[in-house]
Amino acid sequence: MLTLHGFPFSNYHNIVKHALMQKGVPFDEHICYPHSAEMMAVNPTGKVPAMTTEQGTKLSESSVLVEYLEDKYPDIPLLPADPEARAQVRQMIKISELYLELPARRLLPAVLGNVELPAATFEEVKAVLERGAQAIKMLAVFQPYLAGSEISLADIYLRYALAIPKMVGPSRLDWDVMEAVPGLAAWDAMMADTDVARKIDEDQRANTEEFMAYISGS
């Protein structure tokens, strides 16, 4: 059986986990943390998540993992068949990651570790987040999903990419991504109101104490 290596507090882990569950692919979840011996054994960079396929191949990087799942388990697709539509979904995935998740992540030391950051860092992060929100505003159709009537990897990526902007925006930037994009709050509520999302959120809450203990000791 396929094994997903990582931990339920990680939003990147949860992107792949959501795709697996959405596709109905059976898998084992091996909880391990970045740069641990267990993680290094399956991913030489030590990053989460990683995957061991049914054939024993070890893979890493969330985008690689979800593309592998599309190729290996096509019966329930999460990318459109049309090349133009597929490219549009991939475009929203990259925007979600590069202009929302990654810049917001720069503020995590201030939120989780009470580290003082330069004022310029907050200004830079807010500017990039605003560009990302504007791009999603222009590209998403919300009918009811980002790319149309069917859920896609764009929806799954954005749901978990928003976790950190939703955390740091209102508290540190006086800015709320949910207000910046009309229709985003309703879409977010819809995405949360599924058995898959509820299970992932429940597992994330259950992992919080252990993860916080891990980062405190690292």
Same domain? 114 vs 170: yes
DSSP 20-88: HHHHT--EEEEE--TTSHHHHHH-TT--S-EEE-TT--EEESHHHHHHHHHHH-TTS-SS-SSHHHHHH
Are residues 3 and 28 in contact, defined by beta-carbon separation less than 8 angstroms? yes
Looking at the domain assignment, is residue 198 inside a domain? no
Strand partners, 52: 3, 58
Same domain? 73 vs 13: yes
Give the pLDDT confidence of 70-122 residue by residue, as tens digits: 999 999 999 999 999 999 999 999 999 999 999 999 999 998 878 899 999 99
Residues 26, 28, 33, 35, CA torsion sign: negative
Looking at the domain assignment, is residue 216 inside a domain? no
Looking at the domain assignment, is residue 146 inside a domain? yes
Q: Which residues span the domain enclosing 126? A: 83-182
Are residues 151 and 145 in contact, defined by beta-carbon separation less than 8 angstroms? yes
Looking at the domain assignment, is residue 66 inside a domain? yes
Report the largest interatomic distance among the alpha carbons of the chain, rounded to a whole angstrom: 49
The Cα–Cα gap between 135 and 131 comes to 6
Last residue of some domain: 77, 96, 122?
77
Are residues 2 and 27 in contact, defined by beta-carbon separation less than 8 angstroms? yes
Last residue of some domain: 77, 108, 132?
77
Same domain? 23 vs 61: yes
CATH number of the domain that residue 28 is part of: 3.40.30.10
Confidence at residue 87, expressed as pLDDT on a 0 to 100 scale: 98
Q: Tell me the pLDDT band of 206, cut-offs 50, 70 and 90.
A: very high
Same domain? 68 vs 32: yes
Looking at the domain assignment, is residue 161 inside a domain? yes
Residues, the chain, total?
Answer: 218
pTM over 0.85: yes
φ, ψ for residue 190 (rounded to 5)? -65, -45
- Residue percentage of the chain with pLDDT more than 70: 100
Looking at the domain assignment, is residue 214 inside a domain? no
Instruction: Look at residues 18, 40, 34 and name the one whose alpha carbon lies nearest to residue 211.
Output: 34
The Cα–Cα gap between 176 and 173 comes to 8
